[in-house]
């Protein structure tokens, strides 16, 4: 039985790969706590299930050919939670990232994945930070990238970038491009194509505000994060591809640039 499901999955990935595939997908992994409550699990088990779910999704994403996957692993706001939960989350994050080097034994797609920590590193406890930086250094030559936003908020990132540009270029003009180059995300990061948030909340919670400003599709799913799986993700990718194909086809027919399509549709008589 398992064999058949595995076969169908491989087949689904193969077919989907023949269509347009985003280069960069990000997840706001919301719903671990609610999942734990709903299933009468301990909070730590909710986060554990969430991590398992993420590993499977990463495998699917990299097999589809997605180059960068980004997750909102830990918001700076999370430091306001109970110290017990903060410590549980930090330890889980470190252990899971340490284990990433072994994952290729189960999921071959992980053999080419590099980890990047995106966020305000001065907020990470020293022992955890040195572990994380070792993991980053070990995987620096990878082909695919796993961006772990931690501890991150978009406004902190923008503040950091503006600060860096302002101090380094007293005489030069500050431009959108120079700010973008100084973000926590490395300049080689592709533009964000698809942002997915689970658990029904329709807000961005200070995540990648700068990056999702242009040509980014934002998807909200009612599923709790540990329940968001292969099927939901594949549907999101196929929908994204369909929208992109339609958009470029329409722009071709109308002879206008894609970015002006919504306007020309909604304002025509
Ligand atoms: C990063 O964290 C430090 C220490 O908590 C804080 O002082 C700083 O304002 C934060 N943000 C930036 C952009 O450096
Ligand atoms: C958005 O996508 C369209 C079509 O793919 C492209 O022509 C346009 O340059 C993109 N805009 C930006 C700001 O990347």
Q: Look at residue 256 in the predicted model and tell me its pLDDT.
A: 62
Residue 3 is assigned to a structural domain of this protein: no
Pocket test for ligand 1, best of 77, 79, 122 (most atoms within 8 A of CB): 122
Residue 72 is assigned to a structural domain of this protein: yes
- Reading the chain (269 residues) residue by residue, the pLDDT tens digits are 566 777 888 889 988 988 899 999 999 999 999 999 999 999 889 999 999 999 999 999 999 999 999 999 999 999 998 898 888 888 888 888 888 888 888 899 998 899 999 999 999 999 889 999 999 999 888 899 999 999 999 999 999 999 999 888 777 788 999 999 999 999 999 999 999 999 999 999 999 999 998 899 999 999 999 999 999 999 999 999 999 888 777 777 776 665 554 433 433 33
Q: Look at residue 258 in the predicted model and tell me its pLDDT.
A: 54
Residue 15 is assigned to a structural domain of this protein: no
Is any ligand 1 atom within 6 A of the Cβ of residue 137? no
DSSP H helices in the chain: 2-17, 32-38, 43-64, 83-99, 126-138, 154-168, 176-181, 230-254, 261-267
Residue 93 is assigned to a structural domain of this protein: yes
Residue 14 is assigned to a structural domain of this protein: no
Residue 10 is assigned to a structural domain of this protein: no
Which listed ligand is nearest to 247 at the C-alpha? 2
Q: Write out the residue range of the structural domain in which residue 171 sits.
A: 21-266
Residue 53 is assigned to a structural domain of this protein: yes
CATH number at 136 reads 3.40.1180.10
Residue 7 is assigned to a structural domain of this protein: no
Q: Look at residue 266 in the predicted model and tell me its pLDDT.
A: 37
Q: Look at residue 33 in the predicted model and tell me its pLDDT.
A: 93
| The ligand 1 atom nearest the CA atom of 156 | 13
Query: From ligand 2's centre to the CA of 229, what distance in Å?
Result: 29
CB 60 within 8 A of CB 234: yes
Domain count, the chain: 1
């Amino acid at each position: 039985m398992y064999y058949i499901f595995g076969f169908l999955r491989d087949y689904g990935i193969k077919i989907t790969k023949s269509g347009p595939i985003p280069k960069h997908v990000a997840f706001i992994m919301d719903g671990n706590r609610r999942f734990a409550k709903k299933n009468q699990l301990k909070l730590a088990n909710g986060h554990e299930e969430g991590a398992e779910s993420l590993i499977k999704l990463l495998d699917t994403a990299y097999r589809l050919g997605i180059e960068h996957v980004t997750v909102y692993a830990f918001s700076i706001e999370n430091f306001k939670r109970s110290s017990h939960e903060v410590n549980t989350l930090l330890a889980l994050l470190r252990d899971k990232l340490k284990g990433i080097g072994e994952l290729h034994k189960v999921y071959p797609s992980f053999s080419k994945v590099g980890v990047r920590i995106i966020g305000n590193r001065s907020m990470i406890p020293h022992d955890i930070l040195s572990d994380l930086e070792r993991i980053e250094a070990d995987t620096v030559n990878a082909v695919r990238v796993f961006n772990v936003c931690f501890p991150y908020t978009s406004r902190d990132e923008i503040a950091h970038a503006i600060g860096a540009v302002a101090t380094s270029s007293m005489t030069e003009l500050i431009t959108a491009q120079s700010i973008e180059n100084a973000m926590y995300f490395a300049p080689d990061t592709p533009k964000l194509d698809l942002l997915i948030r689970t658990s029904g909340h329709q807000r961005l919670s200070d995540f990648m505000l700068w990056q999702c400003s242009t040509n980014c599709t934002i998807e909200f799913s009612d599923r709790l994060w540990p329940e968001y799986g292969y099927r939901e993700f594949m549907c999101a990718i196929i929908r994204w591809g369909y929208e992109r194909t339609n958009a470029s086809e329409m722009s071709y027919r109308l002879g206008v640039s894609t970015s002006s399509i919504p306007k020309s549709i909604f304002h025509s008589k």
